[in-house]
Structures are given as C-alpha cells and as structure tokens.
Amino acid sequence: MGKKSLKPYNDYCPQTLFLYGTYDEDKKPDFGLFCWFSYFWHGEMGVMCSIGGNKTTLENIKRNKIFSANLVTENLLSVADHLGTVSGKDPNKMNVELDIGKGEVLDVPVLNDSPVNFELEVMDFIYKHDGTVMLCKIRNVLQDDSLSSNETFEEKLMRIAPVKTTCKHYFSYTGKDLGGWGEPRKNLKD
C-alpha cells in the first residue's frame, strides 16, 4: 500500500468535542463548540487548545482568563451543533434551551447536562498569525456522580456517548455517522 503527501489536513483523525463556556462583559453566558483541544504536562496535567480568528469565546477568555470546557455527548449534539455554527455576535445565539450552572472553583458558566466539565485558567496565550494557542491550568474537574458507578469504563463511555468529529461530520463513540456540521441543529425546535 502506498502513501501520498498532502497539504496540512487532519481528516481521519477524530477529535473529541467540547463546549467552551464564558461570560461576556454583562455576565451573559456564551457557549461555542471546539475540537482543537488536548493536554500537556507542567508538573500536573494541563489543557492546551487553540482558537482561530477572533470569536466571542476568545474575546471573553482574553478578558477574564478563565472558561469552562464541557464534554459534548450525544444528548447535547443538536444544541452543540447550533453553538458551533452560529456566531456569538448573533444576539439570538443563546436563545436555546440549556441548563447552565456555575463552576465550583472558578466563576465560569458550566453545562449541567455535560458529564465532565473542566474549569480552566489560561496560563499563557501564544499568538500565531490569526490563531491563538492557550495553555491552561486545570483548576477543577466536575464529574457526574453517575461516573463513579461500578460499571466498566466501556459501559460508562457507551452510556455517556461522547461525540467525535472529523471530515466535517459528527461520529458516535462507536463510529456511527451522526450527520454533517450544521445538520443536527435542524432537530432543535424554533
């Protein structure tokens, strides 16, 4: 089997999805959908993530230096797709049904329906052209009590059903195609 060389591209490399929660200047919550999210080591586990362009999420993070990252599961997919395809500049973006709580350690909005919420504080911003990389300290992880059950890891992951993305499509934890970007939001009530 041969190989071909391609320009920068990451198809067939599935990524886990998170909704980043921030407050704007009037303390109104904003959520955006992100997949460029991973981990690094600084004596303990940290989070590294990157945002392209100047999004409402980034403006809020630059101002407050804190945000939440909420794991996206299948039950959140329709609303997550909406939050990933509508800009925070649209005044109606946040007029969707969301159960929004507060972080335990940081003053950040969290999604109560997500089973894992990171509370993150930015340690460093790295600016490259019009992209921003953020290295974050994990100040707290909120995890649903249901994940402390006696089930196996496999059973728990199958139950919470985290969503992955690649090739501009969403995929279930077991690899089922859950639709292209912009499709699941069509299931939301107007």
The residue ranges that bind ligand FMN (CB under 6 A) are 17, 30, 32-36, 51-52, 55-57, 84-88, 165, 181
Which residue lies nearer to ligand FMN by CB, 30 or 119?
A: 30
Q: How far apart are CA 85 and CA 73, in angstroms?
A: 17
Q: Which single residue brings its beta carbon nearest to ligand FMN?
A: 88
Nearest to 39 by CA among 145, 118, 114: 118
Q: How far is the CB of 16 from ligand FMN (least distance, A)?
A: 10
The answer to whether 164 and 154 are in contact (CB under 8 A) is: no
Q: How far is the CB of 17 from ligand FMN (least distance, A)?
A: 6
Q: How far is the CB of 145 from ligand FMN (least distance, A)?
A: 28
Q: How far is the CB of 131 from ligand FMN (least distance, A)?
A: 8
* Radius of gyration of the CA atoms of the chain, in A: 17
Torsion of CA 104, 108, 109, 115, to 10 degrees: -50
Which residue lies nearer to ligand FMN by CB, 11 or 151?
A: 11
Residues facing residue 68 across a β-bridge: 21, 119
Which residue lies nearer to ligand FMN by CB, 56 or 64?
A: 56
Q: How far is the CB of 144 from ligand FMN (least distance, A)?
A: 23
- CA 16 from chain centre, in angstroms, equals 8
Say which amino acid occupies 47. V
Which residue lies nearer to ligand FMN by CB, 3 or 27?
A: 27
Q: How far is the CB of 61 from ligand FMN (least distance, A)?
A: 9
Which residue lies nearer to ligand FMN by CB, 33 or 111?
A: 33
Which residue lies nearer to ligand FMN by CB, 104 or 177?
A: 177
Helix (H, G, I), strand (E, B) or coil at 189: coil
| Other beta carbons within 10 Å of 125 | 13
State how beta strands 66-71 and 18-23 pair.
antiparallel
